[in-house]
Chain A
Amino acid sequence: MKRYLPLLLLVGAFVLAAPAQAAACSGTTGVTVVVQFPDHTTIGCAPGNPSSGYAALQEAGFSIALAQGSGAGALCEIDGYPGASACHTMPPANAYWAYFHASRGGSWSYSDTGGGGYDPAPGSVEGWRFGGGAAPSVPPPARVASTPKPTPKATPTTRPTHTAAPVATPSAPRSVAATRTPSAAPTASPSTDVGAAPTGPPIPSASPGLAGGTVQKASSSSSNGFAWIWGVVLIVVLGGAAGTTALRRRRS
């Protein structure tokens, strides 16, 4: 049983994440996440009760990156936008991901905490817009949630085409349904993903997407390899030289 636990978790994650691909949340649970890029808007749903704004983003299927250096902990990228060197410092005040809260059918209010320290209530709406701090121009999804409203990009029609062609069809990079990596299972290693793919026939297209994404990330970070050992060796050698010099000068 224990052997199959990761697989079960993975499949469970996919099942849980499946409604996320269909825009705003359908019930009163889950947090709807509205992300407005400069050229389009994507709406996702984080099922259940995400623990933080960042978690809601990830569980709604967006990939995020946090800034380093002076802006450590601040959100700098959603789905790879704006990319390039945005994550090496604190994002500037005129080009950053502004963070908003809203209730269903309500209006946006600028968040006074960061996404990592805010726990969105189930049934509420989270908004992210890239720019100088303006609120998203799309209103928060309406309260009536009987039928999920299709978003400009997340068209439900993409799903059948993927089930029809289970081989890793490289979907359009901005297409919501395929590239969303359900990070409810972020610990799953690429190898288990590949193994899990056949066990989840209804959603095979999600698996190659996840595997591809994870592998790419892993390879980029593990390309450092063991170079750091050489660095440590250099530090020890130079430190030893300094120590012996200090001792010799103290004796003389």
Chain B
Amino acid sequence: MTSLSQLPRALHPLAWWGWAIGLAVAASMTGNPILLGLIVVVVWLVVVARRTDSPWARAFRLYAVLGVVIVLVRLVLHVLVGLKWGTIEVLALPRVALPHWAAGINLLGTVYLEGWLAAAVQGLQLAVLILAIGGANALANPKRLLRALPHALHEVGTAVVVSVSVAPQLAESVQRVLRARLLRGDVGRGLRAVPRVALPVLQDTLDRSLLLAAAMESRGYGARNSDATAAGRRLVTGSLTLAGLLVLAFGMYDLLDPTRSLSWLGAPLVVLGLALTVAGMALGGREIRVTTYRRDPWRLPETLTVLAGLAAAAGMVISKQATPDLLWLPLQPLAAPGLPIAATIGILLAALPAFVTPPPAATGRPRNRTPR
């Protein structure tokens, strides 16, 4: 990779999330299989070029599998209960007659190519969206992301980080223990081997949890003032944040639902909700003091990465204005998909982080280094 002669380091996690959200926005706006395929290979290229050896980075394969499953489920569901339409017959199945009160559900029935393709494109759209988020998950270290969160969200963030990273870490523990057993010549398989694997894995997981807990405590997480004023302040913080989020939800609903008659209420409610939430978080953040051992710098590669993600979304918006028909697979009549210029260039720009970001540190974090 021709990087700009930078020392290996991990990119700021928020940069990867910005990049992935840009791609996800782009994917949610198009039903053109060519563009969706381009997004898939761009995400794959960047992930493959810039991921570390960490357990969450290896989970990317799981997201890919999930995407394939989503498309397949969508195709099967279309055959089972989908609204069949089109002109080109693919599967001539008998239609199961349903009683009057269940009318509108087409159980089986002749499957047409157009309807099936539309279903496949819808499934592909969701799959690509999930793949983009999976890319961010593979590239950004969730524990480092925790530091970038607002202080008031630390408790929620800690829970999320622990739950997100426990499954891949467990899988990695199992792999390590199995490898160690093989090296010692212990080749027992089947049920008898379970206790010999499970015990070290449990011990490993417990050790790591204790390490993480100790590290977090030493940096100030979980420290709380227990006097009365602090308790009162916590109450104010909690109610402010909760009320803000509720108002925000109502405002969004009012704003986005075109059939609502009270739509003039939407914008003020959103502003009020945002203000309440920010106030609550600022108040809560004052209470928690956390130190940071290694700060994540925000330099040029981080900005470039976020801009690359934004370029994909912006290209899609431009194409939607200029040539909205090219953003969808033409189904009526069925034809080859087009290639909108702006959207294509935007997605190609999103591949830039594979080249302009510093390469990842060779072995991830030395402390978590896996024996090889």
Contact = CB atoms under 8 A, between A and B. Distances in A.
Interface residues of A, number: 41
Q: Which residue, B35, B119, B324, B336, has most C-beta atoms of chain A within 10 A?
A: B336
A242 B48 contact: yes
Interface in A192-230: 217-218, 220-224, 226-228, 230
B331 interface: yes
B83 interface: yes
Contact of B338 (A88, A113, A186, A224): A224
B338 A117 contact: no
B331 A68 contact: yes
Interface in A227-252: 227-228, 230-232, 234-235, 238-239, 241-242, 245-246, 249
Interface in B320-337: 324-333, 335-337
Given A69-B328, A231-B344, A238-B38, A245 B338 contact: no
A117 B83 contact: yes
Given A68-B118, A241-B45, A224 B37 contact: no
B44 interface: yes
Contact of B324 (A88, A93, A117, A232): A88
A224 B119 contact: no
Q: Could you say which interface size class chain B belongs to?
A: 35 or more
Interface of B: 1, 31, 34-35, 37-38, 41-42, 44-45, 48-49, 83-85, 87, 100, 103-104, 106, 109, 115, 118-119, 121-122, 258-259, 324-333, 335-339, 344, 348, 351, 354
21 contacts: A66-B85, A66-B331, A73-B83, A88-B324, A88-B328, A94-B259, A112-B103, A112-B104, A113-B104, A116-B83, A117-B83, A222-B335, A224-B330, A231-B37, A231-B339, A234-B348, A238-B38, A238-B351, A242-B49, A245-B45, A249-B49
Given A66-B332, A73-B85, A88-B328, 15 more contacts: A65-B332, A66-B85, A72-B331, A85-B324, A88-B324, A112-B100, A113-B104, A114-B85, A224-B336, A224-B338, A226-B336, A230-B339, A238-B45, A242-B41, A245-B48
Interface of A: 54, 65-66, 68-70, 72-73, 85, 88, 92-94, 112-114, 116-117, 186, 217-218, 220-224, 226-228, 230-232, 234-235, 238-239, 241-242, 245-246, 249
